[in-house]
Structure 1
Amino acid sequence: MSALLRDCVNFGGDVDSVAAIAMGLASLSREYVSDIPQVLVDELEDGAYGRSFLRSLDEALTERFPVLACASRSG
C-alpha cells in the first residue's frame, strides 16, 4: 500500500482523489500489503471529512456490504 500511495503522489494532479480511490480499491485486494505507517493514520486530520468521518463511512459501508468486511480482514 505504501508503494501505491507514493505512486499516487508522484502521479500528480488531484492527488487526494486519486489516492483515495486507488487505496480504497487496493484495500480490498490480497495483492497489497497493509504497510502504511501508523503515524499517517494517527496524524490524519479530523475535520469534517477527516479520520472520524472515514471510520464512520467504513462502518456504514461494511454494514451495507458485508463482503467488504470479509475482504479487508483476509488481506
Structure 2
Amino acid sequence: MVNTRSPIEAALDTYVQVVGTATEQFQRQMDEATRLLKEAGMEEPTESAAPRPETGRSGTERRPGRRRPGIFD
C-alpha cells in the first residue's frame, strides 16, 4: 500500500504527539507540586481577585509630540 499522507500531515501528527506528551508531563509535575504544597500546609496557588494596577503604557498607544524623521523625510 502506498503512503498517501503529505509531509505536512506527518509533521502535524508528530507535533500533536510531542505536545500531548509534554502536556502530560507538565500535568504530572503540577499535580506533584500541588501535593507537596498541601503536605507543607500551604494553600493551592490561585489568581488574585484584586485587579492589578496599571504599570505604564502599552506598546500600541499613540504618544503626543512629533515623530522622529525617517529615511523618507
TM-score by length of 1: 0.30
TM-score by length of 2: 0.30
Higher helix share: 1
Higher-RCO chain (CA-CA 8 Å, sequence separation at least 6): 1
